[in-house]
């Protein structure tokens, strides 16, 4: 049945996949940190309270199980966004001119948030985190199946480099989340819209 109700700011597929993604991300981050602790790349370990799985085997179990949820959820989001026009309408186009203007306005604290329309900085952040997610998945696949996916491992320049890429992509997504949360704290009404759908301004 077709209704004349106005289109919400965030339609239900975006809202559901966004919150499922948050749950999956928390599990992936925490279990990933436990796996890292078993063989650290750098001179530090993550505090045990911030990890999931209890030990290496348990953490790998979590990481590989939630990986499927994350991948399925991401696929739903990507396909829906592509075919519904969400990417074309809401996340594109992203021009250098608009980016320069919006960065200038943000630096002078004049950038306004408008419900239902992303500014160029938001577009860059959201498209950027999607690219980082792809890098994280590809480097993760290379580490998970290095024998079967030798070509992919070579593309990263070897197993060890793929591990570093995986770590830095995780760190960049972590940084995105921190900035993203700060933005939500600055404009808290966006949170309600991401839960209920919200109305265009």
Number of residues that bind ligand HEM (CB under 6 A): 18
Looking at 25, 28, 74, 162, which residue binds ligand HEM (CB under 6 A)?
A: 25
Instruction: Restricting to residues 178-197, name those near ligand HEM by CB under 6 A.
Output: 180-181, 184, 190-191, 193-194
Please name the residue that has the structure tokens 């992919």: 152
Interacting positions 35-74 with ligand HEM (CB under 6 A) = none
DSSP state letters, 52-91: SSSSHHHHHHHHHHHHHHHHHHHHHHHHHHHHHTHIIIII
Separation of first and last alpha carbons in the chain: 26
**Which one, 16 or 149, has the nearer CB to ligand HEM?**
16
Verify binding: residue 18, ligand HEM, rule CB under 6 A: yes
Q: Is 30 in the site for ligand HEM (CB under 6 A)?
A: no
What gap in Å lies between CA 23 and CA 2, rounded to an integer?
A: 33
Name the minimum Å distance from CB 126 to ligand HEM. 4
Contact 129, 170 (CB under 8 A): no
Nearest 10 degrees: CA dihedral of 188, 77, 16, 137? Answer: -80
Nearer to ligand HEM, 23 or 68 (CB): 23
| Residues 80, 13 contacting (CB under 8 angstroms) | yes
Residue 114: helix, strand or coil by DSSP? strand
Q: Which of residues 123-162 bind ligand HEM (CB under 6 A)?
A: 126, 129
Report 70-129 residues binding ligand HEM (CB under 6 A): 90, 126, 129
Query: Which residues sit at the interface with ligand HEM, rule CB under 6 A?
Result: 14, 18, 21-22, 25, 90, 126, 129, 173, 176-177, 180-181, 184, 190-191, 193-194
């Amino acid at each position: 049945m077709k209704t004349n109700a106005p289109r919400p700011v965030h339609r239900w597929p975006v809202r559901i996949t966004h919150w499922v993604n948050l749950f999956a991300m928390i599990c992936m981050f925490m279990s990933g940190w436990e796996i890292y602790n078993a063989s650290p790349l750098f001179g530090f370990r993550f505090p045990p309270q911030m990890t999931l799985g209890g030990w290496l085997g348990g953490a790998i179990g979590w990481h590989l199980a939630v990986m499927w949820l994350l991948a399925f959820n991401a696929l739903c989001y990507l396909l829906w966004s592509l075919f519904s026009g969400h990417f074309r309408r809401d996340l594109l186009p992203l021009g250098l001119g608009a980016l320069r203007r919006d960065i200038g306005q943000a630096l002078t604290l004049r950038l306004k948030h408008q419900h239902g329309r992303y500014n160029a900085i938001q577009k860059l952040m959201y498209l950027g985190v999607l690219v980082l997610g792809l890098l994280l998945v590809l480097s993760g696949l290379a580490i998970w199946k290095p024998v079967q996916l030798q070509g992919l491992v070579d593309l990263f320049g070897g197993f060890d480099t793929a591990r570093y890429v995986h770590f830095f992509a995780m760190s960049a997504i972590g940084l995105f989340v921190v900035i993203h949360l700060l933005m939500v704290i600055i404009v808290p009404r966006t949170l309600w819209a991401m839960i209920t759908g919200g109305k265009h301004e």
